[in-house]
């Protein structure tokens, strides 16, 4: 499968690209900084330089043309402004969904945040603004006719993958290695499971394949 990943230089995205490439898929990494090309190539992905904050739906749809799936792994990142939470965490998500619809790419997996819906409305706190952007992005995606899956991991770590996870519509807050998140997304894409599911994700005892298969 040809899989286009928005935010292709992110930590989860790079791990996902390697997993997809190793499984024989063709990951395409959307990046805004040309200096990141070598990193995504090393991860097994094809780099495409495209700034999601300055492009339009038609240009993005042209990149998506012929793809089998898309993944939203973009984020404004730590230290970014409230405006960029809106333009990336929310705006770029909506743009990707619109472009996928235009390009005829039905499958879209979105990385969100476990506590996204528990934001404090009207707060000036940057983390609350981030959560609200994620919550609104998820709501917008759920309203589309795409074959979406929304993955809401807990606190992310850089520990090695364990291969065991807990998936549920609502689970106790916990942590999870980024590589296990990448493994779950790769399994979702490869198996076709999880369509129209939004779920929390933390470390656990259930093997990734088994946990994802239960979403059919």
pLDDT of residue 77: 85
pLDDT exceeds 90 at position 58: yes
pLDDT of residue 180: 98
The answer to whether the CB of 93 falls within 8 A of the CB of 140 is yes
Please choose, from the candidates 6, 198, 181, the residue with its C-alpha nearest in 3D space to the C-alpha of residue 91. Answer: 6
pLDDT exceeds 90 at position 45: yes
What percentage of the chain has pLDDT greater than the value 70? 100
pLDDT-based confidence at 79, cuts 50/70/90? confident
Half-sphere exposure of 174 (CA within 13 A, CB side): 14
C-alpha to C-alpha distance for 59 and 138, rounded to whole angstroms? 23
* E strands, 81-186, in order: 107-111, 147-153, 155-157, 164-168, 175-177
Give me the sign of the Cα torsion angle 179, 117, 7, 157.
Answer: negative
pLDDT in tens, 156-166: 999 999 999 99
pLDDT exceeds 90 at position 188: yes
Residue spans of the domains in the chain: they are 2-213
C-alpha to C-alpha distance for 216 and 213, rounded to whole angstroms? 6
pLDDT exceeds 90 at position 210: yes
At 41, is the secondary structure helix, strand, or coil?
Answer: helix
| 97-101: average pLDDT | 98
| 55-74: average pLDDT | 98
**Number of neighbouring beta carbons within 10 Å of residue 122:** 8
Largest CA distance in the chain: 46
pLDDT-based confidence at 106, cuts 50/70/90? very high
| Burial grade of 162 (CB within 10 A; 0-12, 13-18, 19 or more) | middle
pLDDT exceeds 90 at position 25: yes
Query: What mean pLDDT value characterizes the chain?
Result: 96
pLDDT of residue 102: 98
Q: Which CATH number fits domain 2-213: 3.50.50.60, 3.30.2020.10, 3.40.50.720, 3.40.50.800?
A: 3.40.50.720
What percentage of the chain has pLDDT greater than the value 90? 95
pLDDT of residue 126: 93
pLDDT exceeds 90 at position 216: no
pLDDT exceeds 90 at position 96: yes
pLDDT exceeds 90 at position 152: yes
pLDDT exceeds 90 at position 173: yes
pLDDT exceeds 90 at position 63: yes
């Amino acid at each position: 499968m040809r899989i286009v990943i928005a935010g292709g230089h992110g930590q989860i995205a790079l791990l996902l690209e390697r997993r997809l490439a190793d499984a024989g898929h063709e990951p395409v990494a959307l990046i805004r900084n040309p200096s990141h090309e070598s990193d995504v190539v090393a991860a097994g992905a094809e780099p495409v330089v495209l700034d999601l904050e300055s492009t339009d739906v038609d240009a993005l749809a042209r990149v998506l043309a012929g793809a089998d799936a898309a993944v939203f792994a973009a984020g404004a990142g730590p230290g970014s402004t409230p405006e960029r939470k809106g333009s990336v965490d929310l705006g770029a998500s909506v743009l990707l969904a619109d472009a996928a619809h235009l390009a005829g790419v039905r499958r879209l997996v979105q990385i969100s945040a476990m506590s996204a819906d528990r934001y404090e409305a009207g707060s000036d706190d940057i983390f609350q603004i981030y959560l609200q952007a994620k919550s609104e992005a998820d709501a917008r995606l759920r309203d589309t006719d795409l074959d979406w899956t929304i993955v809401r991991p807990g606190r992310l770590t850089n520990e090695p993958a364990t291969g065991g996870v807990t998936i549920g519509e609502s689970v106790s807050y916990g942590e999870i290695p980024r590589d296990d998140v990448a493994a779950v997304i790769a399994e979702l894409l490869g198996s076709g499971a999880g369509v129209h599911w939004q779920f929390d994700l933390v470390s656990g005892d259930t093997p990734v394949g088994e946990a994802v298969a239960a979403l059919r």
